[in-house]
Amino acid sequence: MNFANQTIWTGDCLDIMRGMNSDCVDLICLDPPFNSNANYAAPIGSQAAGAEFKDTWSLSDLDNEWLNLIASKHPALYRVLLAAMTDSDKSYLVYMAVRLLEMHRILKPTGTLFLHCDPTMSHYLKLVMDAIFGRKNFRNEIIWHYSGWNKRLKSHIERRHDIILLYAMSADSVFHPPVRHWESKAEYIRVRKQKVRTDDEGREYVLSDAGGGNRVRRYLDDVWEIPKLNNSDKERTGYPTQKPLALYRRLVETSSKEGDLVLDPFCGCATTCIAAQDLGRQWAGIDVAGKAIELTKMRLRNELGLFASPIHRSDIPLRTDLGKLPRPSSHKKTLYGEQAGNCEGCGEHFQIQNLEVDHIIPRSKGGTDHIENLQFLCGSCNRIKGNRGMEYLQSKLQLS
């Protein structure tokens, strides 16, 4: 792991994750924007005032170029993205796909990912996840159901659940089946429909427990009934999309062990991080909104009595898992051969001395000096691209 436990980044999770070593995270919980056509803003005066993020999407030239890049490297994923019904859906899915690819890279082979979404896009996201994680690694579609007052609606039934997709990296991924405790002996007797007996030492048992004295564990199914935060909840920070701690505690408990590293790349007011801290896990969070770090500090203090501040960063970590890499310029001959002397942007042929080594993903966005991230561009294409990704250069070349 090339960053410290208890770090919160302010920035786009795509850039930050690109700087993280491969195979270093045990569990990722993400609750990204849902493509719900809403612009969330925190109520004025709440602890979270000033936190705001966009959840509206339209297909840009950049998205189209991302699509082209995905088409060449991940054909199965590309086919899934083409299934989107509208440009807005496609734009959203491209945005999610490039980030989920990065999450798949940084997860350990024993890792797990929970993707929190809702019925707006869950059916598409499941296809995206199948393409990236493999269909055999799908484990559950958890329904988080919350109650509330149901109005009479004109065209549909009240929607009262979110969906959490659980994907494992492999058959070796950590899994502790979630259990719920019995509320009382009376509830136990009612549900189990068995007489509670007492053995010679005074321990209670039912016949099917073979006299072990323990009440049988009560394993949960995939529909979880957990109340949504209401306005007067003590837990509430006012962050527009804050989720209940009880829900995220259950995710962290189910798929990680003490000491494991848990990452939330869209951490908001850091519910995942608070749950992880409380359960003795290591953690890190990322959010584009600057408000996240302030709220995390406040919550660690209020809810866990923890005064140690998390580390706050906005720079991209430097990967340390690629070994000591040779200077980019030492790859000139190889790149010239691989590209048959053509500029990777405009496609024109050049002499080797007229081509320049370029970082496909710029170093300022987490790109490395590894040859896989290097290419030859002519001077003109290199100047257009500057410090941006290939999708930018391609969209500019198409427009000119």
Ligand X SMILES: C[S@@+](CC[C@H](N)C(=O)[O-])C[C@H]1O[C@@H](n2cnc3c(N)ncnc32)[C@H](O)[C@@H]1O
Q: Note whether 66 binds ligand X by CB under 6 A.
A: no
- Least distance in Å: CB of 48 to ligand X? 9
DSSP string, 55-100: E-----HHHHHHHHHHHHH-HHHHHHHTT-SSHHHHHHHHHHHHHH
Helix (H, G, I), strand (E, B) or coil at 380: helix
Residue 285's DSSP bridge partners are 8, 264
Q: From Zn ion, ligand X, none, which one binds at residue 31 (CB under 5 to 8 Å depending on kind)?
A: ligand X
Q: What is the DSSP letter of 320?
A: -
Q: In sequence order, which residues have a C-beta less than 8 Å from that of residue 392 and are 6 or more positions away?
A: 62, 65, 385
How many residues touch Zn ion under the rule CB under 5 A: the total is 5
Cα 7 to Cα 361: distance, rounded to the nearest angstrom? 24
Q: Which of 129, 166, 269, 378 binds Zn ion (CB under 5 A)?
A: 378
Residue with tokens 């994750």: 17
Q: Which of 111, 238, 268, 310 binds ligand X (CB under 6 A)?
A: 268
Q: Which of 18, 243, 299, 385 binds ligand X (CB under 6 A)?
A: 243
Q: From ligand X, Zn ion, none, which one binds at residue 343 (CB under 5 to 8 Å depending on kind)?
A: Zn ion
- Least distance in Å: CB of 372 to Zn ion? 20
Buried b (16+ CB within 10 A) or exposed e, 287-321: bebebbbbbbbebbeeeeebeeebeebeebbebee
Q: Note whether 115 binds ligand X by CB under 6 A.
A: no
Q: From ligand X, Zn ion, none, which one binds at residue 269 (CB under 5 to 8 Å depending on kind)?
A: ligand X
Q: Note whether 271 binds ligand X by CB under 6 A.
A: yes
Cα 89 to Cα 238: distance, rounded to the nearest angstrom? 28
- Least distance in Å: CB of 379 to ligand X? 32
Helix-helix angle 61-73:390-399, to 10 degrees? 120
Q: Note whether 13 binds ligand X by CB under 6 A.
A: yes
Q: Note whether 367 binds Zn ion by CB under 5 A.
A: no
Q: In sequence order, which residues have a C-beta less than 8 Å from that of residue 178 and are 6 or more positions away?
A: 219, 220, 250, 253, 254
Cα 5 to Cα 13: distance, rounded to the nearest angstrom? 17
Q: Note whether 12 binds ligand X by CB under 6 A.
A: yes
Instruction: Please give the C-alpha separations between residue 399 and each of 65, 160, 394, in angstroms, as whole numbers.
Output: 12, 45, 9
Restricting to residues 280-299, which ones interact with ligand X according to CB under 6 A?
286-289
Instruction: Please give the C-alpha separations between residue 285 and each of 45, 139, 206, 210, 274, in angstroms, as whole numbers.
Output: 25, 24, 45, 46, 10
- Least distance in Å: CB of 392 to ligand X? 17
- Nearest residue (CB) to Zn ion, 289 versus 357: 357
- Nearest residue (CB) to ligand X, 267 versus 343: 267
Q: From ligand X, Zn ion, none, which one binds at residue 378 (CB under 5 to 8 Å depending on kind)?
A: Zn ion
Residue nearest to ligand X (CB): 268
Q: From Zn ion, ligand X, none, which one binds at residue 381 (CB under 5 to 8 Å depending on kind)?
A: Zn ion
- Nearest residue (CB) to Zn ion, 50 versus 379: 379
User: Contact, 35 vs 88, CB < 8 A?
Assistant: yes
Q: Note whether 173 binds ligand X by CB under 6 A.
A: no
Q: Note whether 253 binds ligand X by CB under 6 A.
A: no
- For residue 223 the two structure tokens come to 């529909």
> Contact residues for Zn ion (CB under 5 A)?
343, 345-346, 378, 381
By CB under 6 A, name the binding residues for ligand X.
Answer: 12-13, 31-33, 53, 239, 241-243, 265-266, 268-269, 271, 286-289
